[in-house]
Amino acid sequence: MKTDFDILELGQSDLRRIAEPVTDIQSTVFQQKIDALIEFVKQRGGMGIAATQVGINQRFFIMSSHPNDRYPYAPDMPATSVINPEIVWHSDAMEKDWEGCLSVPGLRALVPRYQQIKVRYLLRNGELVETEYHDFMARLFQHELDHLDGKVFVDRVESSLDMMTESSWRSMLTQQSGDNDK
């Protein structure tokens, strides 16, 4: 199985395409794309990847979550395929928190996102999921859904002062961990 995808990076026009709804969910070809992207996320230890980031112009992404050194408060969620996703409701409240992206290497930024969302999507077996996410998972979902609309997290950053290089961000976290009791 091909899992050595080339990731499209900021500046490559295909990253800005608006993806088409998935209509071949039960097909072997589509199921293999899901397998390949799940394997890719596992190998890279990432939290998610959208089809458009590897040049697949279809509306689906993989979402996977586990606590780690970058996001110690992330919940546990096995790699899940999220197909034809929609946000059907969102809170008025927005929150800023740090994001990064495989398509924007070396950069971290504070990104405002809805704190709570209600969503609808299909699983790979065609089952409809209607659920609610808040905080970290809501952020991850919004980040990945943006990719399907050709948007990248830096588009939503309010100020260049909310951006950091990966190495500055890591040293900030190291400094903060001394007074963080969570």
Active site residues: 144
Instruction: Compute the least distance from the CB of residue 99 to Zn ion, in Å.
Output: 8
How far, in whole angstroms, is CA 167 from its chain's centroid?
Answer: 21
Q: Determine, following the binding rule CB under 5 A, whether residue 101 of this chain makes contact with Zn ion.
A: yes
The CB-of-96 to Zn ion minimum distance in angstroms stands at: 17
> Whole-number minimum distance, CB 47 to Zn ion, in Å?
9
Please tell me whether residue 37 binds Zn ion under the rule CB under 5 A: no
Pick the closer one to Zn ion by CB: 53 or 84: 53
- Supply 10's token pair: 């900021």
- Binding of Zn ion at residue 140 (CB under 5 A)? no
Q: Which is nearer to Zn ion, 101 or 119 (CB)?
A: 101
52, 62 Cβ separation under 8 angstroms: no
In the bound state with Zn ion, the residue whose beta carbon lies nearer, of 31 and 154, is: 154
Q: What is the phi-psi region of residue 156: left when phi exceeds 0, alpha when psi lies from -120 to 50, beta otherwise?
A: alpha
Nearer to Zn ion, 31 or 95 (CB): 95
Q: What is the largest CA-CA distance in the chain?
A: 51
Beta bridge partners of 61: 50, 82
Neighbours of 122 (CB within 10 A): 18
Closest to 5 measured CA to CA, from 33, 30, 26, 45? 33
The size of the interface with Zn ion (CB under 5 A), counted in residues, is 1
Residues lying near Zn ion in the complex (CB under 5 A): 101
